Amino acid sequence: MIGIATMLQKQGFKVSGSDISMTEEVEQLKMLGAKIQLGHTPKLIKNADLVVASSAILKNNLELVIARTLNITVIPRAEMLGTLMKPYRSIAVAGSHGKTTTTSIIASIFNAAKLSPTYVIGGQVLSVGKSSILGAGEHMVVEADESDGSFMHLQPDVEVITNIDNDHLNFYDSSQEKLNQAFVSFAENLPFYGHIFLNLDDVNIQKIVKSIHRKKISFGFQTRNQYQIYETSLSNGNQNFKLLDREKKIEYQFSTRLSGKHNLYNVVAAICVALEEGITPAKIQKGLNSFKGVGRRFEINSLEFNHKEIVLIDDYGHHPTEILATINAIKEKFPRKRFCMFFEPHRYSRTQQLFEDFVGVLSQVDQVLLFDIYPASEKPIRGIHSKKLAASINQNNGNASLVNLTSAMQWIECNNKEFSVMVTQGAGTISQLNLAIKSKWKQKK
């Protein structure tokens, strides 16, 4: 929402809006001239010609109720984004996991190639500290959200689907098939001259690929892909790999500082987009070198605890697949190091649907400390709570206990000597713990 509001403000529109906290990006938007209020009240709505609402806002929100009463047009975020994309050669990145990172890497590569892209991303790009940039070039790169079907409003020239997993199934009547078909519909939004990049290692993408009637370019480790990843290796904290264009019989060699196999998929998706847009391998590698990551996507800080260095990782992942990717990346980057994870489950419905998956994944962590479930506007579901999740993890030979923000800080004070890596994991309020830790313990330069 901030990225879209910033673009509109810079394009000369009069922007107003509300938020629940005054973050740094909200402050920057305010400095550009936007009228910002804290809390949801009808004060600014009365003078608006149009209201744009994210899918996170409930229909009974006071501002939306007032807007409808005053017959002010209300549109979803994605519809506004789709309108902003029209003058550009637009690239939309969709998928259950990795879309924020992939979108950000594409933007970094295009910047390195001096193409000055415009981008709107669901996270803060660490190198610039922003989730959006209004560039001067012809390209616009955006993140497409499947969680509420709103990505159907987008009609880009180029698409990427990173993967399809069993997330946000509530919106799709608990049907993986309906979710898969939504991605088919998204792909069919491409113009006849457009093309789509697909990770054909992904099982659900394999199920829909024949239903997509647009030019398809595939990537992954398997030989069925046009762009095949192989000969991966680790050195000096970097992942090195070769990429073979099997169609043109051209071999490339790249490296990335990002950890984990999941990030190789993200990086390669971005590389494929860049290659097809005519960017040279040298400029692509320059973009990979300058990419410092995205806020809360395996974001690493080194802290000093009583003269001992501890790595603190903050990660937004809240689905079992994403948590497993974090765990595997930690084991790869910090082999033989003991680590603990502070995890805040996100939504009662997701916890219920994927309960056994959460148990299996979290049982692989040396020590799990669970916060209460973050409801994200959902009502509690009877019998679904963090206490039950902790008990099931412990029955599965894991090691879990319950904490809140205060007791978590106390636990760290008493137990920090036992661990070399700490992780704050989740999409709710868990980042507050990460900030509290960094405020109390000194960060190493």
Model confidence pLDDT, tens digit, residues 315-349: 999 999 999 999 999 999 999 999 999 999 999 99
Domains and their CATH numbers in the chain: 2-76 (3.40.50.720), 86-290 (3.40.1190.10), 299-443 (3.90.190.20)
Residue 127 binned pLDDT confidence (cut-offs 50, 70, 90): low
**Pairwise CA distance, residues 399 & 392, whole Å:** 10
**Pairwise CA distance, residues 129 & 68, whole Å:** 35
Given a cut of 80, is residue 47 above it in pLDDT? yes
Given a cut of 70, is residue 445 above it in pLDDT? no
pTM of the model: 0.91
Torsion sign over Cα 113, 114, 118, 122: positive
Torsion sign over Cα 341, 346, 319, 430: negative
Active site positions, annotated? 99-100, 143
Residue 3: its pLDDT value, please?
Answer: 87
CB atoms within 10 A of CB 208: 19
Q: What mean pLDDT comes out for the span 22-39? A: 91
Backbone angles phi, psi at 50, to 5 degrees: -150, 140
Residue 237: its pLDDT value, please?
Answer: 85
**Pairwise CA distance, residues 319 & 323, whole Å:** 6
**Pairwise CA distance, residues 44 & 39, whole Å:** 11
Of the candidates 347, 426, 330, the one whose C-alpha atom is nearest the C-alpha of residue 385 is 347
Percent of the chain residues past pLDDT 70, beyond the cut: 98
**Pair of tokens at residue 113:** 């190639």
Residue 305 binned pLDDT confidence (cut-offs 50, 70, 90): confident
CB atoms within 10 A of CB 70: 12
Using the structure block, give the residue that is written with the tokens 């007791």.
407
**Pairwise CA distance, residues 160 & 94, whole Å:** 6
Asked whether the beta carbons of 401 and 390 are under 8 A apart, the reply is yes
Residue 81: its pLDDT value, please?
Answer: 95
CB atoms within 10 A of CB 311: 19
32 three-state secondary structure: coil
Residue 214: its pLDDT value, please?
Answer: 97
Q: What is the pLDDT of residues 371-386, one digit of tens each?
A: 999 998 899 999 999 9
From residue 262, give the alpha-carbon distance in Å to each of 129, 163, 298, 317: 23, 10, 12, 12
Residue 2 binned pLDDT confidence (cut-offs 50, 70, 90): confident
Residue 134 binned pLDDT confidence (cut-offs 50, 70, 90): confident
Given a cut of 90, is residue 412 above it in pLDDT? yes
Residue 129: its pLDDT value, please?
Answer: 62
